A and B are shown apart, each in its own frame.
Chain A
Amino acid sequence: MSAPVPPGTGDRRRTRGIRAALGRIGAIFVKELIQLRRDRITFAMMAFIPLAQLLLFGYAINTNPRDLPTAVFVRDDSIFARTFLTALRNTDYFEITAVARSEAELDALIVSGAVQFGVEIPAGFGRDLIRGERPAILVVADASDPTATGGAVAALEGLGASLFARELTGPAAKLAAGEQPYEIRVHRRYNPGGETRLNIVPGLMGTILTLTMLIFTALSITREIERGTMENLLVMPVRPVEIMIGKILPYLAVGAGQTALILVFARLLFAVPIEGSLALLLALTMLFVLANLAVGYTFSTIADTQLQAMQMSFFFFLPNILLSGFMFPFRGMPAWAQYVGEVLPLTHYLRIVRGIMLKGAGLGDLRTDVVALAAFTLAAMALAVARFRQTLD
């Protein structure tokens, strides 16, 4: 054993301990920030992607669509039937595009998708109404897209008793003041539950953050490998954990910026409420951003090229969109899909963001989802550190 060559006497370097580790993390952090700032296109995309997606999907996926095509089958020619149809149009939700002459025809129109609603006014509607027999108007809704029908059905049910105030005179006048003198029987087809009120904007926040965060870090290690800078980085005395933290931190800041941007626009353009605590929403959104950054970083330690890292990101992104409850109602999915959904960060974030924004949920209500997100993040980071290749073998 030959004696180790002693380090130079004037060596005041600190290489051990927390301070030194923080110094190295800081070095990577500053370097990443500079590189980020210098990459003009990426920088522009950071602001552009969330806005473009929010506008595109926020408007394209309208959760409260109006002027829905409606077919009517009127078997009564009283003034009441005509008044009802006029009121129907005036809700703005229904646009009468077809007049059916039989029940079968009405049915066919709905099955073919030509109309979203079929409204059937029964024979003797006016007569029965005056007699106080509460005749039923049958509304058949194509609820395969429950969010599309929700608003319209609510408007229909809200027409109320005053509708026929002018027509109901004489002894029947008391009907106008009392309970709704007719019944609306809504028959939801294809998805009778129909209770999932997808709230697209909070959901969009989750999907936009998933995509952008994932890709940022997915490229971080593979980019170093492809540019040949990895060889230099590996020969420096910096630990895998330090590299990971230093590379993730700048994007946490980017994620915070994107979150602010999305929230402001969600409020300005879509008037989305925030029922719960804004601070809690921001804190948990940062946790979610961290989870995705960790996944992206893990991919980048597994992939050999930037292309592979991108492919992995999309492979991960798809189930996040499809099985998290963003696209389809979570409870409507088969059990296995729900199990898959439970391990995806977006699933938990959607519950958190919808809970806070729409239902005013607090930390206590969201406990399980917060714990799941945190566990997921730690697992991804541990995997990334374990997978990090410290040699070029």
Chain B
Amino acid sequence: MRPEAAAAGEPAAGPDVVIDVEGLTKSFGGRVVVDGLTMQVRKGLIYGFLGPNGSGKTTTIRMLCGLLTPDSGRGTCLGYDILTQSDEIKRHVGYMTQRFSLYGDLSIRENLEFVARVYGLPEPRRAAQEAIDRLGLANRAGQLAGNLSGGWKQRLALGACILPQPQLLLLDEPTAGVDPKARRDFWDEIHALAGEGLTVLVSTHYMDEAERCHEIAYIAYGELLAQGTAADVIAKAHLATWTVTGPDLAALSEALKKTPGVEMVTAFGASLHVSGRDSARLEAAVAPFRARGTQAWRRDEPTLEDAFIDLMSRSKDNFG
């Protein structure tokens, strides 16, 4: 179901488009949670899904796999209609829920065998054993899933997800609360899976993870605000940024926030990011502070985080 008039600048949907949805809208109790969301994800890509808490990421993912019925909008997932063919979608999509949703009172092996049986794999025991070996869980296969640490739970959940060999993975904050080393391993695995042709849609709050995605989408208050590669998103924000280092940054930050032309002041440890949407105006605004010579000022490239914070504050302005 290709949208007839794709928004300008977006790639036209081809046969290798795995997720292709248009105008998805969902409200709960009269409150619109996802508002006219249109997006396309191509096969083999890792597609990052970012946005503040409550922006509708989980809701969108649930609509994609048939767990929620959109109020309006249409689209396909793996070529199957999300409104009428959710049975087919369920067979070929691996969905890793935000909250751990395997059985805590079943062991790792029992959980994996359960999944293998439900999906009708020919040899459930062997499939589960292979998954256990691949996950490096061999020596704790008999442990109850509920007793695993957070990081291991996530690995098990991913293992259960890919066990039935899905063509599309929907991962909802798979690395929340996972240590940096385990996070890196997790992402290595995701890249390996994408290399095998799997398409991955992954929601996250981590900037470093966003940068490891092929493409990202930023959603806030139910609306898709930006879409593309990380570089695209940064470039489209049209931000000018200065980095300030030196003493008395706290006082400087307070003063800058009150200065017209400065849209954002963010502290990063020993430095301050000062951004504005109009480069010339920002330059004029910060000139008096630079003239004092107390701190070192340097023109800088805006980061993805700068772009996101800017997107968020803009959408809030629209909302208010």
Contact = CB atoms under 8 A, between A and B. Distances in A.
Interface of A: 1-5, 7-8, 11-15, 20, 23-24, 26-28, 30-31, 34-35, 38-39, 227-232, 234-238, 391-393
A27 B103 contact: no
Contacts of B119: 13, 15, 236-237
A2 B13 contact: yes
Interface in B60-89: 62, 65-69, 76, 78-80, 87-88
A34 B113 CA distance: 12
Contacts of A39: 105
Interface of B: 1-2, 13-15, 17-18, 20, 43, 62, 65-69, 76, 78-80, 87-88, 90-93, 95, 97, 99-106, 110, 113-115, 117-122, 124, 144, 164-165, 167
A5 B67 contact: no
A12 B90 CA distance: 17
A232 B13 contact: no
Contacts of A35: 103, 105-106
A13 B114 contact: no
Contacts of B167: 5, 7-8
A391 B90 CA distance: 12
A35 B104 CA distance: 9
Nearest to A12: B122
Nearest to B124: A27
Given A24-B118, A35-B105, A237 B79 contact: no
Nearest to A235: B95
B18 to A, nearest CB: 7
26 contacts: A1-B2, A2-B20, A3-B15, A7-B167, A13-B91, A14-B120, A14-B122, A24-B120, A26-B117, A27-B114, A27-B117, A27-B124, A30-B117, A31-B103, A35-B103, A39-B105, A229-B101, A229-B102, A231-B101, A232-B95, A232-B101, A236-B115, A237-B91, A392-B68, A393-B68, A393-B69
- Central interface residue in B2, B105, B106, by most chain A CB within 10 Å: B105
B90 to A, nearest CB: 5
A188 B1 CA distance: 82
A39 B67 CA distance: 29
Nearest to A246: B118
B45 to A, nearest CB: 14
Interface centre among B2, B67, B100 (most CB of A within 10 A): B67
Given A8-B165, A236-B115, A31 B122 contact: no
Contacts of A237: 87, 90-91, 118-120
A38 B105 contact: yes
Contacts of A236: 90, 115, 118-119
Given A27-B118, A392-B67, 9 more contacts: A5-B167, A229-B101, A231-B99, A231-B101, A235-B65, A235-B66, A237-B91, A237-B120, A391-B69
Contacts of A229: 101-103
B120 A2 contact: no
B62 A34 contact: no
B266 to A, nearest CB: 35
Nearest to B28: A393
Nearest to B59: A392
Contacts of B1: 1-2
